[in-house]
Amino acid sequence: MQNSQLGLPIGTTLDRFIKRKQEDFPFATGELSQLLRDIALAGKIVNREINRAGLIGVSGAFGVQNVQGEEQQKLDVIANIRFIRALRNGGEVCAIISEEEEDVIDLSNPKGRYVVAIDPLDGSSNIDVNVSIGTIFSIYRRKSPGGGPVSEEDVLQKGTEQVAAGYLLYGSSAMMVYTTGRGVNGFTYETTLGEFFLSHQNMTIPKTGNIYSINDGACRSFPSFVNDYIDYCKDQSYSARYIGSLVADFHRNLLVGGIYIYPTSNKAPNGKLRLLYECNALAFVVEQAGGKATNGDMRILDIQPTELHQRVPFFIGPKAMVDKAESYKKMAAKAVAE
């Protein structure tokens, strides 16, 4: 090793960063900080399970379907259990909304001031083929007084009410990216030390980009404005990039500039992605990074949820790109009105 490398500072661990940020809030109780640490710890455990998946035989279908009617993978089940356990044991949470659970999990924890919505494993069709997958989380404050059961106003909150949100990406490196409403920061996992280190400080999405991410195979039943916008992207010679793991597609687009679209289609009449535990978290992150997320007309964070597993069409990326996509919808609506 060269001497110059020995002279380098060790870097900022996620734990230290969270602690430092907490000191910015003199009245903070530290519970949110602890909750973020709990999520990071569960993420490390899930990352370990994913890394070993091929060896210990947990990849592949589990043989049952989840509440969405999708094939549930063994790692989906494992990730769900790991995160629920971490959140239950941590003591800061009163309720969990999970993609893998039909109903809200009321932890009957009178001291828990937070509600967490989570997609424990996103991109599960990519598990068996060794492609990046992730975890998405949103954190809300409980609205109803502690002590009683959690209520609808606790679990069906608008995205604007999130106090923190982010994702873990299990890719060529594992990463945790999150926001508490004061910018976005990303941490890369150093496996031998078992720590996340600050690697992407104050992340901002490029003002525009030249990547579009959409499942083009469904284009025959997309609304015509979506196909018109895709034609525009092709006219501009943008690159098409679609991994099929929302977290991975979003992360790439956040770093290099690109739009991700999951529109309505025959197969997915309301879109596929879930408002509470997929779209809201990424919408919060993208806005904090200077970008935009809508359902085609309306800001994702302003949508009042009516159901736990509600789906929404999703357009997310640099503001200029999302604005452009929306302009095609407005043009189509105007043409119909005329």
Scanning residues 264 to 303, which ones bind ligand AHG (CB under 6 A)? 272
Beta carbons of 99 and 120 less than 8 angstroms apart: yes
- Minimal distance, residue 57 CB to ligand AHG, in Å: 20
* Residue 221 binds to ligand AHG (criterion: CB under 6 A): no
Choosing from 38, 49, 92, 119, the residue that interacts with Mn ion (CB under 5 A) is 119
Q: Is 120 helix (H, G, I), strand (E, B) or coil?
A: strand
Please tell me the chain's helix, strand, coil percentages from 3-state DSSP, rounded to the nearest 5: 40, 25, 35
- Minimal distance, residue 127 CB to ligand AHG, in Å: 9
Helices 246-256 and 280-288 cross at an angle (nearest 10°) of 10
The burial class, CB within 10 Å (0-12 / 13-18 / 19+), for 256 is middle
Scanning residues 82 to 101, which ones bind Mn ion (CB under 5 A)? 99
The strands making up 259-262's β-sheet, listed across from edge to edge, are 239-240, 211-213, 259-262, 314-317, 292-294
- Minimal distance, residue 182 CB to ligand AHG, in Å: 27
Beta carbons of 259 and 321 less than 8 angstroms apart: yes
Residue 244's binding partner among ligand AHG, Mn ion, none (Cβ under 5 to 8 angstroms by kind) is ligand AHG
In angstroms, the CA 69 to CA 67 distance is: 5
- Minimal distance, residue 324 CB to ligand AHG, in Å: 21
Residue 215's binding partner among Mn ion, ligand AHG, none (Cβ under 5 to 8 angstroms by kind) is ligand AHG
Site string for ligand AHG, 119-158 (x = CB under 6 A): x--xxx----------------------------------
Choosing from 160, 215, 227, 327, the residue that interacts with ligand AHG (CB under 6 A) is 215
Choosing from 11, 91, 223, 244, the residue that interacts with ligand AHG (CB under 6 A) is 244
DSSP annotation string for 291-337: -EEESSSSBGGG----STT-B--EEEE-HHHHHHHHHHHHHHHHHHH
Backbone angles phi, psi at 151, to 5 degrees: -115, 175
| 128: amino acid identity, one letter | D
* Residue 249 binds to Mn ion (criterion: CB under 5 A): no
- Minimal distance, residue 246 CB to Mn ion, in Å: 6
Which residues make up the interface to Mn ion (CB under 5 A)? 99, 119, 121-122
Which residues make up the interface to ligand AHG (CB under 6 A)? 70, 99, 119, 122-124, 215, 244-246, 272
